[in-house]
Structure 1
Amino acid sequence: MMKHLSLATVVITGLLLIYITGSFPAWGDPNSPASTHLSNHYITKTMEETSVPNIVSAVLGDYRGFDTMFETTVVFCAGMAVFFMLGAYKRDQPTVRQFRHTETGVVLRFRNGAKTPREGGAFEEIDPTWIPYDFIVSRVAKLMVPFIQIFGLYVIAHGHHSPGGGFQGGVILAAAFLLLGLSHNMRTLINRVSNKALGLMSAAGVVLYAGYGALAMIYGGNFLDYSALAGLLGMDPVAARSFGILVIEIGVGLTVMSTMVIIYNNVASVGRYDEGL
């Protein structure tokens, strides 16, 4: 019954969306409202009103701030949905745990109840379906991680002056963590950044975005009207709008980065956070 009801809901929703698209302007119509009003205003007024050379970032972070905020919220909800579907329940611990001596490669097996070596010392825990350790891959990947992270921060910080922004920078930062997990193992990644920390950072990004917009209301402006914070920041309204775009880009980057790692951790390990890919 539920399967048929779900199918009917999807079909009806799809038909409604197809019907609504009939009222949209023709594709590429130069006389559409977007072409005759919005586009011209953004192209000619962005620098004057926001002091942001990157028009795309000005549109996403300022002119169309509501939409971008809800996009960020959708990303956060996607990560939470994956967590609650895969990672919210305790899994049975394996009956046998395996540890490898990092210097010699000797593998020891311990059954439940047996005292195991200390993690992070001369031994490291490995997966039951163990893939041979590759010294070159792991070392090269670990060397690349900080450079990838610096580039990700650069993309976020300069997103309103050059191509980039919170979404792009967040993906690059997440790629650094995923590279660590793929070149080593899931436990190494979890030891560097826990699932609790990832969840807090993912939520903090959304809170930073919405909170900065709400702060503008306290100072007499509209929600996400960054120019209202000019007095608080000690700068003119145009510079305040530029700074506001940077703040919300940081929030977007936090959420995107954390959510991607959350999704990887849960999907790759089916919510167990032990073996991974």
Structure 2
Amino acid sequence: MKKAALISVLLAGGLMILSMADFPSWGDDMSPASLHLSSYFLEQAYEQTATPNIVTAVLGDYRGFDTMLETVVVFLAALSCFLIIRAPREVCIPDLYMYRHKATGIVVRKRSMCVVDDEDYCFERIDSDWTPQDVVISTVSRFVIPFIQLFGLYVLAHGHYSPGGGFQGGVIFSASYVLLAISTDLRTMVRKLSERTTHLLSAAGVLVFSGVGLFCLASGANFLDYGGLQGFMGETLASGHSNGILLVETGVGMTVTAALAIIFKLLSSRGTVMEGL
């Protein structure tokens, strides 16, 4: 079976390599894209979308359907990982619970879980395969994380005018939570960004993207034709396109942030979302 799968992969790869012979050369100014599409986007994108960043204009406006379906794919990837990897609740209950005394570092094992919600409590929950945590690393990470999140929001909001957008901003924002989990533990990340929150956030991002399209449709324009936002709050046609792109990029950022957080929590904990890394 493995040999048949390997042969199938090699054949598919060989066919893809052979098909590359019909592709235009890299940077060929006589390729169809350079003769028709590129010149049109460069000349018309700013006037039609009020977006100086041509890449964002193409992804968010001209290729709006494709970008929306890419967002759906990210959401489905996170949902698939949850349905395949997430362990049942009864499996997630460990046999032993480990607690560390903050002042002395002494580790205590208990058969039942204690409620340790107060940050000033003298004991803290640790993983069963506990490794010592560095106070310097955890402290510096907590100081840096807000700035990472602020930069993620900046990349998302300024994707119109500089390199960035929903995908990039979402990856940066989710990376801040990954850093929190690595520098402390997975439970700290889950307390800040619970499973319910990430599930709702990932679905809400898709709904925001498609909701903008439905609003345009209800306004008498085509689906994802941001010209339908022109009359909303007395905006001009260019402002409607610009704000429409910002809204859909926000939806993309929400889905990407939540989806990456879901996948990380599942893979790092083997589906238990209790402890691991």
Check 1:115–1:167 CA distance in 2 against 1; reply closer, same or farther (3 A cut). closer
Structure 2 distance, partners of 1:163, 1:264, is 26
Corresponding residue for residue 55 of structure 1: 54
Alpha-carbon separation, structure 1, partners of 2:137 and 2:204: 33
Distance 2:101 2:115 in 1: 10
Q: Secondary structure at the match of 1:70?
A: helix
Map Cα deviations across residues 155-183 of structure 1 (whole Å, 9 max, x no partner): 10111011211111111101111110000
- What residue is the counterpart of 1:38 in the other structure? 37
* Letter paired with 2:59: L
Judge conservation of contact 2:87–2:272 (CA < 8 Å) in 1: no
Residue identity in the other structure for 1:116: C
Residue of structure 2 aligned with 1:116, choices 114, 117, 120: 114
Distance 2:210 2:7 in 1: 36
**1:27 Cα deviation (Å)?**
4.1
- How far 1:265 moved relative to its partner? 0.2
**TM-score between both structures, scaled by the size of structure 1:** 0.91
Please state how far the C-alpha of 1:21 moved relative to its aligned partner.
Answer: 4.8
Contact 1:98/1:107 (8 A) holds in 2? yes
SS at match of 2:230: helix
Percent identical among aligned pairs is 46
Could you tell me whether the CA contact under 8 Å between 2:171 and 2:257 is conserved in 1?
yes
Query: Following TM superposition, by how much is the alpha carbon of 1:101 offset from its aligned partner in structure 2, in angstroms?
Result: 2.2
Structure 1 SS opposite 2:160 = coil
Corresponding position of 2:88: 89
Q: 1:26, CA displacement in angstroms?
A: 4.5
Structure 1 residues 219 and 115: alpha-carbon distance in aligned structure 2, compared to 1, 3 A threshold = closer
Q: Secondary structure at the match of 1:241?
A: helix
Q: How many residues align?
A: 274
TM-score (norm 2): 0.91
Shift of 1:17: 4.8
Cα deviation for residue 46 of structure 1 reads 1.5
Residue 134 of structure 1 and its aligned partner are, at CA, apart by 1.4
Asked whether the equivalents of residues 230 and 240 of structure 1 are also in contact (C-alpha less than 8 Å), the reply is yes
Post-superposition offset of 1:25? 4.0
- The separation in 2 between residues aligned to 1:11 and 1:120, in whole angstroms, is 57
Q: Point out where structure 2 has 5 or more consecutive residues left out of the alignment.
A: none
Deviation at 1:28, TM superposition (A): 3.3
Match of 2:71 in 1: 72
Gaps (5+ residues) in structure 1? none
Residues 7 and 210 of structure 1, relative CA distance in 2, 3 Å threshold:
farther
* Alignment partner of 1:103 is 2:121: no
Deviation at 1:18, TM superposition (A): 5.2
Higher mean alpha-carbon deviation, 133-142 vs 118-127, is at: 118-127
Report the 3-state secondary structure (helix = DSSP H, G, I; strand = E; otherwise coil) of the residue aligned with 2:231.
Answer: helix
Structure 2 letter corresponding to 1:32: S
- Deviations 1:55-106 (Å, cap 9, x if unpaired)? 1111111111111111111111111121111115332522111111223322
CA contact (8 A) 1:79 1:260 kept: yes
Q: What amino acid does structure 2 have at the position aligned with 1:35? A: S
| Counterpart amino acid of residue 89 in structure 1 | P
CA separation in 1, counterparts of 2:14 and 2:133?
Answer: 52
The C-alpha deviation readout for 1:209-246, integer Å capped at 9, x for no partner, is 11111211111111110011211232111110011111
Residue aligning to 1:28? 27
Change in CA separation of 1:64 and 1:142 when aligned onto 2, cut-off 3 Å: same
> Where does residue 255 of structure 1 map in the other structure?
255
Matched to 2:134, the amino acid is D
Matches within 5 A, 1:1-277: 17=16, 21=20, 24-90=23-89, 91-111=91-111, 114=112, 116-121=114-119, 122=121, 123-277=123-277
SS in 2 for 1:125: strand
Q: CA deviation at 1:120?
A: 3.6
Q: Is the 8 A contact 1:201 1:258 kept in 2?
A: yes
